Amino acid sequence: MEQDSSNINTIKNAWIKFIHGMQDKLCDALEAEDGKGKFESDKWVRAGGGGGDTRIITNGNVFEKGGVNTSVVYGEVTDMMRQQLGIDAAEWWASGISLVLHPGNPMVPTIHLNYRMFELYNSDGSLADRWFGGGTDLTPYYLFEEDAINFHLQHKQACDLSDSEFYPAFKTTCDNYFVNTHRGNERRGIGGIFYDHKNETEGKNASFWMELAKNCAESFLLSYIPIVNKRKDFSFTPGQKTWQEIRRGRYVEFNLLHDRGTIFGLKTNGRTESILMSLPPTVRFEYDHHPEKNSEEEKLIKVLFQPKDWLNIDEKSDNEAWAKSVNTC
């Protein structure tokens, strides 16, 4: 994968410009929707090389806790990384944007977003490999099918701008990745899109994969913000808050036991506070908890064990109209 250093730097700089600009855009939109909470910036330096900007919002009108982070980090490939992560090179470089939001109202879903670029270098400094990955997934506590449909529709439209085959493939990958296998293959939420290790090929160079990430990141504004706007003022009971905290416990289990990004960050001497900002502020771990039969809580659980094709159900036509109205806002 021969490229001169000037071309490598051009690609890296374009990616860094994208994630920093998107970080500002997302924080501005979320602050406007919250109406009270403000993101606090915590810029940090990684001892092994690089650093980042962790922006945290807490105790807002809508968001109980959330973060929009960017990082540009690098270092030497260690023996541990070779053995446990399968990385075979002399040095590595990674940069990305990540977002996790935990609303206070259980009628508003938690959301995760991440888009990243990774490079490996040979001992002579030449580029050994470059790949892109990312995606987003929605974790509701109460299931509103129109929200799920619009979320998936917006990301399908974003993927289609690059390749019409991407959305179905990325949806399947997402459904199969965010799974608590130790809980009988219970999904973390109602999915979204997820792709990983996308290398440059003929017709799909670095600019192609960066454009995909940009389009998908922009879809956050069309897919999640309208959901927050519709649900943030819904009333809820103490029992529904308890259910939210039980489900948050499953979110924690996935992140700590199965998430490759969390594991990579911790094993490469990443910044622990930034890596674990994805964890919710309050959770419950209740022994052998099961929702009541035919309840709204059970309705959600059934979907978590049986992923749905959200763009091929009866409500599709009505929600396409809603999605079009969102696009004109």
150 with 322: CB under 8 angstroms?
A: yes
CA 62 to chain centre: 19
Quote the strand ranges of the chain, DSSP E.
40-45, 50-58, 63-76, 91-103, 110-121, 127-139, 179-180, 186-187, 192-199
SS3 328: coil
Residues catalogued as catalytic: 112
Interatomic CA distance for residues 143 and 299, integer angstroms: 7
Considering only CA atoms, give the Rg of the chain. Answer: 20
Cα torsion 171, 176, 180, 186 to 10°: value is: 70
User: Under 8 Å CB-to-CB from 134, ≥6 apart: which residues?
Assistant: 96, 113, 114, 115, 116, 194, 195, 213, 216
Strand partners, 132: 117, 198
Q: Encoding tokens for residue 199?
A: 């290398």
The closest alpha carbon to 268, from 117, 81, 120, 51, belongs to: 81
